Structure 1
Amino acid sequence: MSIPAANLMTTLRSGHATSPRLTWYGPDAERVELSGRVLDNWVAKTSNLLQDELDAEPGMAVRLDLPAHWKSFVWALAAWQLGMEVVLDGSDAHLLVTNEPDGGAGAGFDAVVAVPLAALAMRWPGELPAGVVDYAAEVRSHGDVFMAHTEGSADDPAVRGTSPYAHEALMDGFAAAQEPGVRLLVRAAEGLEPGLAAALGAWNQDGSIVLVHPDVDVTQHLLENERVSRS
């Protein structure tokens, strides 16, 4: 496949596949570490959910109404490797992915997906509006390997945010430049768009990220324990 996100996922699952690629620090002492292989597994399952259950295909747009979180990053990678456009500016899209499905934001979307942010959530905690897909309950049933039904195009839109980017510019335009092998601290408080740009830049240079929730103190102990090389 010609789109850079698909090539990135191949690299993450094959090169240093057992090494940490995304480490998340959340509230209540939550720590989640995803190796390249595990990250690819989550992304593949999410891409398969998009393709097989939500009828998503290249060229469609998915709006991520989510904070900067490891599951948000999984969703962005899943959409990109499918050849979709990730909408980060709150504008119209075919699909809505949100952690606030009761907010009335679902009007006008082909489908709405509710994402519980707790790491161990097996389903949405409570009742969901009619027709809303429960990501936690559905994603695990999908395949661990993603095979696109339709190949995405490099000149299709990939990001709609502060500036628009096509898939061909995802790594050399949207992604923030990073040093080779960087272990990068990413502060979730800075927002989803800059967080994704930083993460793509790190992964593109065979690096990894430590993503930290706004309520978590970034201490010297944390930085040393995670061997952060750039913060």
Structure 2
Amino acid sequence: MTTEMELRGARVRYGPLEALHGLDLPVPAGTVTVLTGRNGAGRTTALRALAGTVRLSAGRVLWRGEDVTALPPHERARRGLCFVPDRGAVYEGLTVAENLALAGPAAPVPYPALVPLLPRTAGTLSGGERRMLAVSRALLRPARVVLVDEAALGMAPPVAARTYALLAALATETGAAVLLAEQRVPDGLPPGTLLHRLRRGTRVFSGEAAEEHRPAA
């Protein structure tokens, strides 16, 4: 299993508060990895550290072994990183069609519910519709690393299930490293999904998602 990207000894501070306490986090290619934990556990900060939207106070960000800690977010994006934050992930003043066009050449829209909304501006969509649009842009853009914070936020259960199936297919079919930040492990992810549970900026469990609640022998 090739590690596409990783945090090594990562520390992030927000003023006097340290959000990550020397976190080691591998993100392997061709695999879905899920970060779980309560609010404040460091899930979002870990994604932002990989994306380069927050600075490390200590530690390193590696990409295939190369130190990219000092590389700005737009350069990481050019290398093939796609970050879908939990908020502000679409261009509200553009139409749905224009948002999708930014992801690359024309391709089938991943969510049929978005097709009749193509002429509408993204700012007029519901929360779940915006989330579909944000995730669609990640699915349509050729990427080596895909980071998604709260992938199914505001979605109805059937749409959420489709979202996780699409993200799993992205990893297995294209070899992308897919990292999701979630409060709990979503249903429907494939066998072999990796789980890292965070607590107060440190990793307290790592393994396959199916192992976390497996009774001890």
TM-score in same-fold range (> 0.5)? no
Question: Which structure has the higher relative contact order (CA within 8 Å, separation 6+)?
Answer: 2
The structure that is helix-richer by fraction is 1
TM-score of the aligned structures, taking structure 1 as reference length: 0.25
TM-score of the aligned structures, taking structure 2 as reference length: 0.26
The structure that is strand-richer by fraction is 2
